[in-house]
Structure 1
Amino acid sequence: MAHIFPELVVGGVLLAPFVTYLMMVLVVIIILRPLLHVIGFANMFSHAPVAELSLYVTVLGLLMLLF
């Protein structure tokens, strides 16, 4: 059974499904950032940007597994 990956077309240019996943995860992270700020996510780690990047990669991986 072959998977059919929908491609995103922007201005006649076909973008890989991975680009669509990246944009979807970016939206999810932007929505989660205020919640993470309220719970003190940045204070839990010595280097908060690396922790946020790790969260981005984790959400990206989960999204790719689901779709």
Structure 2
Amino acid sequence: MRHTFFELVIEGVLVAPFVTYLLAALVVVVFLRPILHLVGFAKIFSHAPMAELSLYVTILCLLMLLF
């Protein structure tokens, strides 16, 4: 199985696909944060920032697997 990765070109500079995945995962987490706040996500965990970081890494891994 062969993957073709498309680099993002910003002003003539090639950006690695991993950076694109990082930014996409960040956008998803930023949009999810208000929803998680309404649900009470931070109250479930003893260390909420670590749980949010874990969620970010999970979304990043899912994006890398899917695309």
TM-score, normalised via structure 2 length: 0.95
1:66 aligns with 2:58: no
Letter in 2 for 1:63: L
Alignment-derived partner of residue 14 in structure 1: 14
* Residue in 1 that maps onto 2:30: 30
User: Where does residue 46 of structure 2 map in the other structure?
Assistant: 46
Match of 1:57 in 2: 57
Task: Report what 1:4 is aligned to.
Answer: 4
Aligned equivalents of 1:18 and 1:61: distance in 2? 10
Number of aligned residue pairs: give it: 67
Q: Which runs of 5+ in 1 are unaligned?
A: none
* Structure 2: distance between partners of 1:24 and 1:3: 19
Alpha-carbon RMSD across the aligned residues, in angstroms, is: 0.7
